Structure formats: C-alpha cells, structure tokens
Amino acid sequence: MDRNIRTVDDVLALLDGLFAREADRWTADGASWWDSFYADRTKPVPFFVAKPDENLVSYAERGLITPGRALDLGCGPGRNALHLASLGFEVDAVDLSRAAITWAEDRAREAGADVRFHCGNAFALVATELAGPYDLIYDSGCFHHLPPHRRISYLCLLDDVLAPGGHLALSCFAAGEAGMGSELPDAAFYDRAGLQGGLAYTPESLRRIFSDLTEIELRRMHDEPPESPRFGEPFLWTALFRRDAQM
C-alpha cells in the first residue's frame, strides 16, 4: 500500500505516471520517441526547415525584443536558437532529444553560431544548467506537448528564470477553424491517459494561463510560402508576453 503523496512534486509525479504511454515525449526519463522522430533529417516535417519562425523575426525587426540572454525551450534542430544568436543574443537551448541536439549542434557548427545546447528536461535543468535570469524565453512547440498539470511547472520555470521586464514568446497549436491539436477539456486527457498528439489552445485560455504577464501581441502565425526565408504555419498561435519590470 502506497501513501507517498506529501508535496506538490509528489502529486505532479503521480499525474505524470498516468501518461506513461506518452511520457517519453516530454519527460527526462526517456526521449526515445523524439530521438526516433528526429532520426531521419530528410522527412518532410514542416519545422525541420532551417528557417526561424516568422513571428520571432518580426519581434526583432519591430524592436519588441532586443539582444540579451535567451532560452530556447524545446529547440529541436536549433533553427530559432541560431537566429537568436545571429541577432546578438547569448543563447541557451534545451531539448529532450539527443538526436535533435546533435542536429542543432551540427547546424550551429556549419553556421559558426555560438549557442550552448543542453539535453534534458528543462524543469530539472533550471536547478543546474539553465541559470537565469533570461531576457527572452522562446518556445516554439514545447508548451502544447505538456500534460495539463505540467503548466504548473512551466509557470514556476518562468518565475524562476524570466527576468523582470523580460519576454516570453510562444508558438502553440491553435484551437478553432484551420487549427491543430486536441480540443478536449483538460480532464479528458487523464481519462484517456494520452495527449492526443498535443493540446490546442484558444486566445482566452492562453491569456488566462499567462495572466501574470502583460500581453504584447497574440495572433495566428502567418502562412509563409516555401520560398520564404521564414517559417510560418497558420495552425499555430503566436504570443508575446512581458513580465512586469517591478516583479
């Protein structure tokens, strides 16, 4: 008989166990699913392209973000991390998948970009390798692969390492017409013990989750043609939030 629940971390670990079939998509205990996903670099996956997100490019062009320390969450093959480095940011980039990190390191070497790559679970690495404060936290596709209870960990990460006056820039699955991801209510994911490929969000839900931050912009990602130097898919929301400088 187990009676081991004593802390919030114990509760989170218990809930993690309900997603055992999909746990290796986001936990440090096993990144084999993502390693397999990134193993074939020639697959026609939209975000395998060596292009930065159009919204990230736009933020910099409009002066909404300026060079400083940046953390790229779920960096994948490193396309946004390399762009941030090219803008003069000091970049830490983290991903669960060793295959993704190896690919990102290869790209950085070819580009002559200076990026510090970390393989592991960002929630655990905050205590060791990912020491803030960061002026920008960039997340293109990590947030929508977290089970609902891990939003608590995500917000704690922001509290721990996002600098006062710093920005969170986020791209995630959009609910509604021409969106992507599951629109099931949070409780249903625990009934089904799976994330159904990722969670879709509405603008209202994003505003509620990040209500401690100031919204700068929230819109659909622009649809970029194949010949564009930027990545853009309209099934994603893009959002830019700022932390109160007085916090």
* 40, 71 contact by CB (below 8 A): no
What confidence score (pLDDT) does residue 42 get?
Answer: 93
Tens-level pLDDT at each residue, the chain (247 residues): 778 889 999 999 888 888 765 544 545 445 788 888 899 999 998 899 999 999 999 999 999 999 999 999 999 999 999 999 999 999 999 999 999 999 999 999 999 999 999 999 999 999 889 988 999 999 999 999 999 999 999 999 999 999 999 999 999 999 999 999 999 999 999 888 788 889 999 999 999 999 999 999 999 999 999 999 999 999 999 999 999 986 5
144 DSSP assignment? G
146 DSSP assignment? S
Domain 8-242, what fold?
Rossmann fold (3.40.50)
Please name which of 74, 78, 79 lies closest in space to residue 137, comparing C-alpha atoms.
Answer: 74
Please name which of 177, 155, 167 lies closest in space to residue 243, comparing C-alpha atoms.
Answer: 167
How many angstroms separate the CA atoms of 136 and 139, rounded? 10
28 DSSP assignment? T
CA 92 vs. chain centroid, Å, equals 13
Give the global pTM: 0.93
How many angstroms separate the CA atoms of 10 and 24, rounded? 19
The structure tokens listed for 155 are 């917000």
Which regions of the chain does DSSP assign to beta strands (E)? 69-73, 90-95, 115-119, 134-140, 162-173, 214-220, 236-242
What confidence score (pLDDT) does residue 33 get?
Answer: 80
Buried b (16+ CB within 10 A) or exposed e, 128-148: eebebebbbbbbbbbbbbbbe
Which regions of 39-187 does DSSP assign to beta strands (E)? 69-73, 90-95, 115-119, 134-140, 162-173
Furthest-apart CA pair in the chain: how many Å? 60
Q: How many CB atoms lie within 10 A of CB 82?
A: 25
Helix H or strand E encompassing 84:
helix 79-86
β-bridge partners, 236: 173
Between the alpha carbon of residue 24 and those of residues 30, 44, 76, 79, 139, the distances in Å are 5, 22, 15, 23, 19
Between the alpha carbon of residue 190 and those of residues 16, 17, 23, 154, 181, the distances in Å are 10, 10, 13, 19, 16
